[in-house]
């Protein structure tokens, strides 16, 4: 910062600027050399303060540049390891972690196929993210697209802490809006054919789905400790609503389902141990196997037409169809809606307002009034 002298009458005045403002102050000197020394004395501490601030800004800039350089040098091949080991990452199930890894692998494969290949973190720019989003939009369905974009956004956010690279190119990539197509109910004949087409643990899984109306995850991971045959009750906290509600759901065991749950193998944790392992580690294989059973039963799984908001015909018949069928059958046999909702642990807010507290004995009484859910009076062996 510089200043100048202005003579007013016989005295010299100091004129200087500090942080954008002009200041004037008398030096009390009539001799110019002495007035110049007084001016320098006045502005010296101000220059020192400005110099210290500039030095601090320079240090901050160096720290920022160093962080960015670390990010620039981070190989994409290390992206997953840095995310997986980051202390800022929330704990999640092995299945979720496997989904995250799959989304990252798909991106890295695409990056390596580019010409020239993308190899470092800084090369995944906002433009790159938009190009990948276009590719992903053509390669997968809308739901999977939204899932992958969300995962990549999270991975970049968490990885920023360990790399110092704080640019998140996925932040402004919008997710797709699409119409959800609900699964349809299965007819009595379709349920019978489905059971006849299934074998082993899959037959038990489908039987459980038909007679309890529970979601696939809850049945795949059902544990023997939650099955109380003496009381004819299954008591679980559905995974979908456990964090939000932490509510225990009481599921009465239908008389046709009871024979499958009376013998508990010693030392076995899960009711369906092989399916539990498959669901945890290779859920896509489990989904494919269930689809094969539906196809073997001659059940049309896809919608007849493709909605305007979809790229392909949506799946309208799947394991979740058993849940819809269960509720429909209960209503056909005049089971109160509150009872049916209590059994399936419905999470729809519009349905929740109709809930009433239903005791276990009342649940069992209502279940005993419901006829068999399949073409046979007993579930197939």
Coil, strand or helix at 27 = strand
Q: Tell me: the pLDDT tens digits for 217-252?
A: 999 999 999 999 888 899 988 887 766 767 888 888
pLDDT at 222: 93
Residues 6+ apart with CB under 8 A from 16: 1, 2, 3, 4, 22, 23, 39, 42, 43, 46
pLDDT band at 355 (very low <50, low <70, confident <90, very high): very low
Give the length of the chain: 381
pLDDT surpasses 70 at 352 = no
Residue 193: in which H helix or E strand, if any?
helix 188-197
Q: Tell me: the pLDDT tens digits for 128-156?
A: 999 999 999 888 878 889 999 999 999 99
pLDDT band at 45 (very low <50, low <70, confident <90, very high): confident
Asked if residue 16 lies in contact with residue 42, where contact means CB atoms within 8 angstroms, the answer is yes
Q: Is the pTM of this model over 0.85?
A: no
Q: Tell me: the pLDDT tens digits for 152-161?
A: 999 998 887 6
Q: What count of other Cβ atoms lies within 10 Å of the Cβ of residue 198?
A: 22
pLDDT band at 62 (very low <50, low <70, confident <90, very high): very low
Q: Taking the domains of the chain in order of start, what are their residue ranges?
A: 3-73, 76-163, 188-368
- CATH for 188-368 (3.40.50.300, 1.10.443.10, 3.40.50.2300, 3.40.50.720): 1.10.443.10
Q: Minimum mean pLDDT among 116-120, 146-150, 281-285, 301-305: which range? A: 301-305
pLDDT surpasses 70 at 349 = no
- When comparing pLDDT for 177 and 188, which is higher? 188
pLDDT surpasses 70 at 71 = no
pLDDT at 133: 94
- When comparing pLDDT for 296 and 70, which is higher? 296
**In the chain, pLDDT over 90 holds for what percent of residues?**
23
Residues 6+ apart with CB under 8 A from 56: none
| Phi and psi at residue 221, to the nearest 5° | -105, 20
pLDDT at 247: 80
Strand order in the sheet with 227-228: 227-228, 233-236, 249-252
pLDDT at 123: 85
Long-range contacts of 100-106 (CB under 8 A, 24+ apart): 100/151, 100/154, 100/155, 103/147, 103/148, 103/151, 103/152, 103/155, 104/79, 104/80, 104/151, 104/152, 104/155, 105/80, 106/136, 106/148
pLDDT at 50: 66
Q: Which residues of 146-159 are buried (b: 16+ CB within 10 A; e: fewer)?
A: bbbbebbbbbbbbb
pLDDT surpasses 60 at 287 = yes
**In the chain, pLDDT over 70 holds for what percent of residues?**
77
Asked if residue 111 lies in contact with residue 117, where contact means CB atoms within 8 angstroms, the answer is yes
Q: Minimum mean pLDDT among 23-27, 110-114, 190-194, 352-356: which range? A: 352-356
């Amino acid at each position: 910062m510089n200043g100048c002298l202005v003579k007013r009458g016989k005295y010299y005045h100091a004129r200087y600027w500090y942080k954008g403002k002009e200041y004037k102050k008398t030096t009390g000197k009539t001799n110019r050399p002495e007035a110049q020394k007084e001016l320098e004395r006045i502005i010296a501490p101000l220059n020192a303060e400005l110099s210290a601030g500039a030095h601090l800004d320079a240090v901050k800039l160096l720290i920022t540049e160093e962080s960015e350089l670390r990010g620039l040098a981070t190989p994409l091949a290390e992206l997953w390891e840095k995310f997986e080991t980051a202390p800022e990452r929330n704990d999640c199930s092995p299945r979720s972690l496997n989904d995250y890894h799959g989304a990252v692998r798909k991106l890295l494969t695409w990056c390596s196929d580019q010409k020239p290949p993308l190899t470092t973190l800084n090369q995944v720019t906002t433009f790159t993210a938009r190009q990948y989003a276009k590719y992903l939009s053509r390669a997968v369905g809308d739901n999977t697209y939204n899932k992958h974009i969300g995962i990549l956004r999270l991975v970049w956010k968490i990885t920023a802490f360990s790399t110092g690279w704080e640019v998140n190119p996925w932040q402004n990539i919008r997710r797709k809006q699409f119409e959800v197509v609900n699964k349809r109910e299965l007819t009595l004949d379709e349920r019978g054919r489905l059971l006849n087409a299934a074998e082993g643990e899959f037959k038990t899984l489908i039987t459980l789905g038909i007679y309890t109306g529970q979601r696939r995850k809850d049945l795949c991971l059902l544990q023997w400790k939650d099955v109380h045959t003496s009381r004819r009750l299954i008591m679980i906290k559905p995974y979908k609503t456990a964090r939000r509600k932490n509510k225990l759901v009481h599921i009465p065991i239908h008389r046709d389902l009871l024979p499958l749950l009376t013998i508990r193998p010693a030392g076995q944790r899960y009711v369906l141990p092989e399916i539990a392992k498959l669901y945890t580690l290779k859920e896509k294989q489990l989904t494919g196997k269930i689809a094969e059973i539906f196809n073997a039963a001659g059940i049309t799984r896809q919608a007849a037409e493709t909605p305007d908001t979809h790229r392909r015909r949506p799946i309208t018949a799947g394991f979740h169809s058993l849940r819809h069928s269960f509720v429909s059958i209960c209503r056909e046999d005049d089971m109160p809606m509150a009872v049916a909702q209590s059994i399936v642990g419905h999470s729809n807010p519009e349905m929740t307002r109709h809930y009433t507290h239903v005791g276990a004995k009342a649940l069992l009484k209502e279940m005993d009034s419901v006829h068999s859910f399949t073409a046979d009076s007993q579930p197939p062996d």
